[in-house]
């Protein structure tokens, strides 16, 4: 994978160009490479060897503490020591001022080595980033800084047992903590009560403290919660209370583990149901007059009340690119494992003009066309997805450090691409894992080989951080129609630009034509979906739309990569490597892109088969 | 599911008509129903409640014995007592002379309740059936009879560690056991040495003995094994030796458990690596002059030497229908679980013309179009697959009991349909399980709900009893071209017949047209694939061909079922139930059938992208 990563970063995305911007001026191609080297090494030494262990020795709770394998603790120590938690932060925060695209590329090694172990770090990074964007100076100093230093880890507490995707139904309540609630140096102090479900990293002993970021509602004067997402505020709720110097006060906050979720995969990341403020750990006398028991967990408001979801979504693009990259890396891990197996396993014979000759020796299975098909499919899914994720990460850098016009354009493009960056690898790199199992046959189905675990781990990605269905609604319901369709138009312009260049290259002209047709078809289907203006009709087939859109985007990415591969080949670049890229692109155009027709057909006819299905007919 | 099963058996396949044949003359619609009732009850009481237990309490080996949960023993006792092991056999063998289609329907309840537990019984049945077809009278009496009675269970030992799908490379050797080898009442006696991999039910204590059917090669006069499948013979190798009255002699045969395979799913079925004749259990003095140790496991030749694979394949159609039905039932179990969940889980709100109103109460998720889509997809996959499997089972009855011409036609049709009956549910009912998880969201990913286990269990079905790739080669390489394409022509005639009838029904005319087009396209692609006559070119895309062919067959099945549903509706049948069938058919035609175009395109162009991919390019 490293060669592909270098090719994409250096030759395709020209990350070196970023070093001409002030923020990245101290960097060079060499410093970027050295970060990748370090991460690759730590991932290989401290993560990969223990990935199966993290699955078999699932976290368990003894009633007081959650136990994780010692290997997870060690991997986290190594990760913290690498400084990667703060990689993209300012120097003064202990960071490296690394571009987002390089940070993501470096983190990809950890995801590939053990997606479940690396989950703790990714969450902590996202949590601290959010505080950097919306927290008060003290909150940044106390919470974010200690997270970047790896002293504390963080979580995101959104879902509740009765409201998974439906955040407007968040029922966790936050009440001002006494009359002096507004004069706490850590921020307006509230008492929170409620239950949070699916909280990854919600309890563990890896770090001395855990910083929870919690969505909750502050009741109105009538004591009632405001319906909808507008009533949601964001709070920072540490597991153990701290003072404004970030020292533990010795008080345990009332955040209690109600139970661990036992998952199909991704087992190494503790996933929890947390009770906030139920009285398991009574904390401080409630200045409202009650005694402490059951008064609520202490939390500090972040930013303004009612803006919690907006703050959370501010970081969502990066979080979703992170999920997409994690899914991609699971796919990549399976691809590499099945490729290695196929190269070594002798079985069967080639089919000649007269069939097979059993007197001939067996060949390695990589010689069989159907095995090549399964490997090439994996390659096209995983390397294509990797290119897309890095492209999106590069857009984050544009958004953050480019000139205003270019930054605005990058932001817009990112809005449209994020649902794809999240959903596409979740679906297709899972399919890659499915194919990896198939390449290994019966062995792939056993726990003696890693591929079945990748497949189980990857199944989570279509669910968390916004389900597949939610991504479809986001794309067709918001992203392609916002601002009169400006985002979609911008993406189309970028795609046209690639098509225009590819049309001039004889080897790629066929693909350019296919992509142009696909782009037209996506545009037609988008308009047809909304032709009646009724959201219910347009959105009933949002998921097939998401799938078609995703395949068109990936075809574009592959064509752009193929353009470079073709040029590099002509310039005498590494022929086998570049032929591989061109073959994967060709596979995608011949075997995958044609699938969009079936998906778009139901979108453009606003097919009502599903919408009109009645409960009693099932 | 029961209503669907009754509808398909009684109204669609008219199983009652079979009772007019002498073999089934004692039966009636009522006796068939009573068998289904019994099996449904036993499956509900003895299998379903312990399906998770069979997963979590995986079989383990203490060095002497393999331990299974007591629940598995009890379930097997109940199954044996039901008489289902011999359900299709002659009365004189203790059987019920049940048609294959009713036997399969009845067994489907067990597969749905616990596919892993029911595996032992299915294997035993297949093993005994093979002996009934090809064994000597004594072998039938001693081995098959005791298997039908449930006193002993059976296995099929084909694969070897170095040769999974490639049976021509079987290396297990069988040597005549002394000069009197040919005078044993149990059959010509041989000594077997070799390793057999992936043997389900290969070791357990459920029954007092295990009857292994083993493929092995008898060396030629030069001591060498004949290359290819022609050298393969079939042997019956009991774990414990028996006399010709079927009494245990007290001698342990030299069949030793080398290890258990630890699988991703399907954990309740012991899966083993067996060593034959390595000397772990030295048995009898080798009459060739050596002492017993390492002389080989004792086995008795079944039928003639060199015909082992033909015998095995004689039973393959039924075995593959069995796998397809198992995959179907896992899909069905997930469909039912996710349907129940979707009916009870409140979350989110409907999208009206002005979007969502958060002040409204939540609705159950079955109200959301995307959830309906996921349920309808499952319904169309699983009920469609169930209809196909029962149709194939009905063809087995035709083959066995119809007049010669009809029997020959049924046999031919079955040859063409078997790869689909095996592969299609393995792929699409696995996808159904994937959707079931998605309907439940995070809950579906936990082990607190059954759907993740169904998904894991079902993943095996694309691998065992001939992988997906093997099914594709069988279909495009043999079945559609054999006898100058007679099988394909016959299938086309049957499909045309359905199309002709549906074209007359206004509600179904659109589907009839789609199917006619699909049939034409499959025909064109078949010819184009073979246009150059080069097997390597034709078969490089055998798997996409298998997928397209499968979808066309399922569309045909659904149209035929829809014709009946439409007629029953008009005749005042249960409206909701029948509307459901019509909606599922419509879903299949609108959302699924159009997918075949992308698969057929690479087939008919003999796309060489995969075939020409070089190892060094990956």
Q: Are residues A405 and A299 in the same domain?
A: no
Residues β-bridged to residue B446: A263
Say whether residue B544 is in contact with chain A using an 8 A CB cutoff.
yes
Whether A40 is catalytic is no
Q: What is the DSSP code string of B474-508? A: HIIIIITTHHHHHHHHHHHHHHHHHHHHHHTSGGG
How far CA A7 is from CA of A43, A129, A480, A497, B462, in Å, comes to 20, 29, 31, 21, 36
- Name the helix (H) or strand (E) containing A599: helix A596-604
Facing residue for B262 by CB, picked from A164, A166, A448: A448
From first CA to last CA, the distance across chain A in angstroms is 46
Task: Give CA B582 to chain center in angstroms.
Answer: 27
CA atoms of A516 and A495, how far apart (whole Å): 8
Q: Are residues B397 and B456 in the same domain?
A: yes
pLDDT over 70 at A291, yes or no: no
Q: Is residue B618 part of a domain?
A: no
Domain's final residue, options B407, B436, B466? B466
Q: Is residue A11 part of a domain?
A: yes
pLDDT over 70 at A576, yes or no: yes
pLDDT for residue B353: 81
The answer to whether B272 touches B259, Cβ cutoff 8 Å, is yes
Q: Is B539 in contact with A369 (Cβ distance < 8 A)? A: yes
Say whether residue A527 is in contact with chain B using an 8 A CB cutoff.
no
CA atoms of B609 and B597, how far apart (whole Å): 18
Q: Are residues A193 and A333 in the same domain?
A: no
pLDDT for residue B227: 85
Residues of B in contact with A349 (CB under 8 A): 166
Q: Are residues B389 and B502 in the same domain?
A: no
Select the residue from B232, B306, B358, B445 to test the A interface by mutation, using most A Cβ atoms within 10 A.
B445
* Alpha helix ranges (H) inside A296-349: 308-314, 316-344
The answer to whether A610 touches B609, Cβ cutoff 8 Å, is no
Choose among A168, A304, A178: nearest CA to A233.
Answer: A304
The answer to whether A444 touches B198, Cβ cutoff 8 Å, is no
Q: Are residues B251 and B165 in the same domain?
A: yes
The average pLDDT across B520-524 equals 98
Residue A176 CB neighbour total at 10 angstroms: 16
Residues of A in contact with B511 (CB under 8 A): none
pLDDT over 80 at B290, yes or no: no
Choose among A170, A279, A298: nearest CA to A235.
Answer: A298
The average pLDDT across B146-172 equals 92
* % of chain A with per-residue pLDDT over 70: 99
Choose among A72, A70, A60: nearest CA to A117.
Answer: A72
The answer to whether A453 touches A265, Cβ cutoff 8 Å, is yes
Q: Write the CATH number for A10.
A: 1.10.540.10
Q: Is B463 in contact with A472 (Cβ distance < 8 A)? A: no
Burial B14-50 (b: 16+ CB within 10 A, else e): ebbebbeeebbeebeeeebeebbeebbebbeebbbeb
Q: For residue range A167-197, what is the model confidence (pLDDT) as tens digits?
A: 888 999 999 998 899 999 999 999 999 999 9
Residues β-bridged to residue B352: B355
CA atoms of B588 and B559, how far apart (whole Å): 10
CA atoms of B457 and B451, how far apart (whole Å): 10
Q: For residue range B384-414, what is the model confidence (pLDDT) as tens digits?
A: 999 999 999 999 999 999 999 999 999 999 9
Q: Is B264 in contact with A375 (Cβ distance < 8 A)? A: no
Which ipTM score applies to this complex?
A: 0.97
Closest residue, chain A, to B355 (C-alpha): A535
SS3 (DSSP) at B301? strand
Residues β-bridged to residue B256: B275
Q: What is the DSSP code string of B420-462? A: HHHHHHHHHHHHHHHHHHHHHGGGGGBTTSSHHHHHHHHGGGG
Choose among A167, A184, A172: nearest CA to A302.
Answer: A184
The average pLDDT across B97-105 equals 97
Closest residue, chain A, to B159 (C-alpha): A442
Burial B69-84 (b: 16+ CB within 10 A, else e): bebbeebbebbbebbb
pLDDT for residue A141: 97
Q: For residue range B267-280, what is the model confidence (pLDDT) as tens digits?
A: 999 999 999 999 99
Query: Which chain B residues in 30-59 lie under 8 Å from chain A, judged by CB atoms?
Result: none
Choose among B556, B530, B559, B560: nearest CA to B545.
Answer: B530
Tokens matching residue B47: 């299998």
Beta carbons within 8 Å of A378's beta carbon, 6+ residues apart: A331, A334, A335, A338, A339, A432, A435, A436
pLDDT for residue A247: 98
Q: At what angle do helices A482-503 and A542-570 cross, to 10 degrees?
A: 30
pLDDT for residue A293: 57
Q: Is residue B129 part of a domain?
A: yes
Say whether residue A373 is in contact with chain B using an 8 A CB cutoff.
yes
CA atoms of B356 and B295, how far apart (whole Å): 77
Q: Is residue A357 part of a domain?
A: no
Residue B368 CB neighbour total at 10 angstroms: 25
pLDDT over 90 at B223, yes or no: no
Lowest mean pLDDT among B200-209, B306-315, B543-552: B306-315
CA atoms of B416 and A75, how far apart (whole Å): 54
Residues of A in contact with B164 (CB under 8 A): 347, 441-442
Q: Is residue B271 part of a domain?
A: yes
CA atoms of A15 and A67, how far apart (whole Å): 41
CA atoms of B386 and B100, how far apart (whole Å): 14
pLDDT over 70 at B575, yes or no: yes
The average pLDDT across A499-528 equals 98
CA atoms of A322 and A193, how far apart (whole Å): 30
Q: For residue range B362-379, what is the model confidence (pLDDT) as tens digits?
A: 999 999 999 999 999 999
Domain's final residue, options B433, B449, B466? B466
Q: For residue range B406-446, what is the model confidence (pLDDT) as tens digits?
A: 999 999 999 999 999 999 999 999 999 999 999 999 999 99
Lowest mean pLDDT among A223-232, A575-584, B237-246, B543-552: A223-232
Q: Are residues B132 and B171 in the same domain?
A: no
- What beta strand segments (E) does A290-439 contain? 297-302
Residues of A in contact with B447 (CB under 8 A): 262-264
The count of structural domains within chain A is 4
CA atoms of B96 and B90, how far apart (whole Å): 7
pLDDT for residue A288: 59
CA atoms of B417 and B409, how far apart (whole Å): 12
* Alpha helix ranges (H) inside B201-344: 308-314, 316-344
Q: Are residues A168 and A263 in the same domain?
A: yes
Say whether residue B67 is in contact with chain A using an 8 A CB cutoff.
no
CA atoms of B31 and B265, how far apart (whole Å): 35
Say whether residue A372 is in contact with chain B using an 8 A CB cutoff.
yes
pLDDT for residue A384: 98
* % of chain B with per-residue pLDDT over 90: 91
Q: Is B445 in contact with A460 (Cβ distance < 8 A)? A: yes
Q: Write the CATH number for B318.
A: 1.20.140.10
Tokens matching residue B226: 């004949």
Q: Is A613 in contact with B583 (Cβ distance < 8 A)? A: yes
CA atoms of A138 and A532, how far apart (whole Å): 51
- Name the helix (H) or strand (E) containing A380: helix A369-401
The mean of the pLDDT values for chain B is 96
Residues β-bridged to residue B153: B210
Q: Are residues A219 and A262 in the same domain?
A: yes
Residues in chain A: 618
Distance to chain A for B534, nearest Cα, Å? 5
Q: Are residues A414 and A480 in the same domain?
A: no
pLDDT over 70 at B41, yes or no: yes
CA atoms of B426 and B327, how far apart (whole Å): 5
From first CA to last CA, the distance across chain B in angstroms is 46
How do B189-200 and B271-276 pair as beta strands?
antiparallel
Domain's final residue, options A110, A130, A148? A148
Q: Is residue A233 part of a domain?
A: yes
Q: Are residues B128 and B25 in the same domain?
A: yes
Select the residue from B263, B370, B578 to test the A interface by mutation, using most A Cβ atoms within 10 A.
B370
Enclosing domain of residue B49? 2-148
The mean of the pLDDT values for chain A is 96
Q: Is residue A261 part of a domain?
A: yes
* % of chain B with per-residue pLDDT over 70: 99
Q: Is A583 in contact with B613 (Cβ distance < 8 A)? A: yes
What does residue B130 show for φ and ψ, rounded to 5 degrees? -65, -45
Burial B244-258 (b: 16+ CB within 10 A, else e): eebeeeeebbbbbbb
User: With DSSP H G I counted as helix, E B as strand and the rest as coil, what are the percentages for chain B, rounded to 5?
Assistant: 60, 10, 25
Q: Are residues B336 and B454 in the same domain?
A: yes
Q: For residue range A304-350, what is the model confidence (pLDDT) as tens digits?
A: 999 999 999 877 888 899 999 999 999 999 999 999 999 999 999 98
Q: Is residue B582 part of a domain?
A: yes
Say whether residue A3 is in contact with chain B using an 8 A CB cutoff.
no
pLDDT for residue A287: 62
Q: Are residues A96 and A114 in the same domain?
A: yes
Burial A393-423 (b: 16+ CB within 10 A, else e): bbbbbbbebbeeeebebbbbbbbbbbbbbbb
């Amino acid at each position: 994978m490293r060669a592909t990563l270098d090719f994409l970063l250096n030759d395709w995305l020209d990350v070196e160009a970023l070093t001409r911007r002030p923020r990245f001026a101290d960097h060079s191609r060499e410093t970027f490479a050295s970060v990748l080297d370090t991460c690759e090494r730590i991932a290989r030494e401290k993560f990969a060897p223990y990935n199966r262990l993290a699955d078999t020795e699932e976290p368990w709770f003894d009633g007081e503490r959650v136990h994780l394998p010692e290997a997870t603790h060690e991997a986290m120590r190594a990760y913290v020591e690498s400084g990667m938690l703060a990689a993209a932060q300012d120097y003064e925060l202990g960071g490296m001022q690394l571009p987002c695209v390089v940070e993501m590329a470096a983190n990809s090694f950890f995801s590939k080595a053990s997606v479940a172990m690396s989950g703790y770090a990714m969450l902590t990074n996202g949590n601290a980033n959010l505080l950097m964007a919306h927290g008060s100076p003290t909150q940044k100093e106390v919470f974010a800084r200690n997270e970047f230093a790896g002293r504390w880890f963080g979580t995101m507490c959104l879902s509740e047992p009765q409201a998974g995707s439906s955040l407007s139904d968040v029922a966790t309540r936050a009440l001002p903590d006494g009359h002096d609630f507004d004069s706490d140096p850590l921020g307006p102090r509230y008492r929170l009560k409620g239950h949070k479900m699916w909280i990854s990293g919600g309890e563990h002993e890896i770090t001395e403290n855990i910083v929870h970021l919690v969505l909750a509602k502050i009741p109105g004067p009538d004591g009632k919660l405001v319906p909808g997402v507008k009533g949601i505020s964001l709070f920072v709720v540490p597991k153990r209370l701290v003072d404004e110097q970030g020292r533990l006060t010795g008080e345990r906050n009332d955040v209690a583990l109600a139970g661990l979720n036992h998952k199909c995969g991704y087992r190494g990341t503790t996933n929890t149901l947390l009770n906030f403020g139920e009285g398991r750990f009574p904390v401080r006398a409630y200045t409202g007059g009650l005694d402490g028991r059951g008064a609520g967990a202490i939390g500090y408001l972040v930013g303004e009340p009612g803006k919690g979801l907006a703050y959370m979504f501010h970081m969502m693009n990066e979080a979703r690119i992170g999920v997409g990259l994690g899914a991609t890396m699971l796919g990549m891990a399976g691809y590499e494992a099945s490729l290695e197996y196929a190269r070594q396993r002798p079985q069967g014979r080639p089919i000649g003009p007269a069939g097979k000759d059993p007197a001939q020796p067996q060949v390695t299975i990589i010689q069989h066309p159907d095995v090549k098909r399964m490997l090439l499919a994996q390659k096209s899914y995983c390397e294509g997805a990797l290119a897309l994720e890095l492209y999106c990460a590069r857009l984050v850098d544009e958004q953050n450090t480019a000139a205003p016009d270019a930054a605005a354009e990058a932001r817009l493009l990112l809005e449209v691409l994020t649902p794809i960056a999240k959903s596409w690898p979740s679906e297709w790199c899972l399919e890659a894992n499915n194919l990896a199992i198939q390449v290994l046959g019966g062995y792939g189905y056993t726990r003696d080989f890693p591929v079945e675990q990748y497949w189980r781990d990857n199944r989570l990605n279509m669910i968390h951080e916004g389900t597949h269905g939610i991504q479809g609604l986001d794309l067709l319901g918001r992203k392609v129609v916002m601002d009169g369709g400006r985002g979609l138009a911008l993406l189309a312009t970028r795609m046209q630009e690639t098509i225009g260049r590819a049309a001039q290259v004889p080897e790629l002209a066929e693909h350019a034509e296919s992509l142009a047709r696909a782009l037209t078809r996506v545009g037609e289907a988008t308009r047809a979906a909304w032709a009646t203006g009724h959201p219910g009709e347009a959105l009933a087939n949002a998921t097939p739309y998401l799938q078609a859109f995703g395949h068109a985007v990936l075809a574009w990415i592959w064509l752009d990569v193929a353009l470079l591969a073709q040029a590099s080949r002509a310039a005498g670049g590494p022929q086998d490597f570049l032929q591989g890229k061109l073959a994967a692109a060709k596979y995608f155009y011949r075997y995958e892109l044609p699938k969009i027709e079936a998906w778009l057909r139901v979108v453009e006819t606003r097919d009502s088969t599903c919408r009109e299905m009645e409960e009693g007919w099932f």
